[in-house]
Amino acid sequence: MMNTNRESLRLICLDCGLCCSSNVLPDGVAPYFLRSDTGPKYLMNGQSNTPLCRNTNSDGNFSISVIAGNGPKSKYPSFIRAKEAFQSGPFVDGKMIRFGSTHTLFRVIEGFFDFEVQEADGSVHKETISSNESIMVSAGSAFRYSVSSAYGRMYSFAGKGSGLEEVFIKLGRVAKKNEMVGESDEEELSFETLQGAVKEIDAEYV
């Protein structure tokens, strides 16, 4: 049970007696609470990632984050303020990402996302998913996604390992308060830079 006094900036877990932060993730396994629009958010290549639970917070069992981004500026010019808008996130040069041992489920909150998932026989399955729809990518299957609406958000659930959030954390910039994707000009990260970070989470580009 938790004391949810809204006047307090911290919560007390009555079961363990620990203070639970209301706006940051702990370094390891510990109770915590994140208020609305709080917690870290990382910007990278025109997308943002907000970790809700990192691999280290679940003792290696799972991770959860929220991915957000804009669709093509050529299609939605008034929605993106940046002069040079990159919407690729962790996907560059037409590459896909394949996790070695981590299953990942994506569930769209709002907007539309175009997914491409490589089947075991090498064929590529394409699917557009929208609000309240999900797509499961099993370990060993290569995939990529892009935002096809003006704006889109989705959950990323990664089991037994780290997910894409670790790439954003390692290479992304911490967003300013209330900063949204597409508001400022950023230098696009190269494939070589991204490749090193992807390898650290038991994944590879194909």
pLDDT for the residue 1 = 41
Largest separation between any pair of C-alpha atoms in the chain: 57
User: Number of structural domains, the chain?
Assistant: 2
Indicate whether 97 and 128 sit together in one domain: yes
pLDDT for the residue 137 = 96
Chain segment 108-125, per-residue pLDDT in tens: 999 999 999 998 888 999
Indicate whether 123 and 151 sit together in one domain: yes
Q: What domain range is 1 assigned to?
A: 1-38
Chain segment 147-191, per-residue pLDDT in tens: 999 899 999 999 987 889 999 999 999 988 888 887 766 777 888
Indicate whether 24 and 47 sit together in one domain: no
Chain segment 12-44, per-residue pLDDT in tens: 454 544 455 567 788 888 888 888 777 789 999
What's the pTM value of the predicted model, to 2 decimals? 0.83
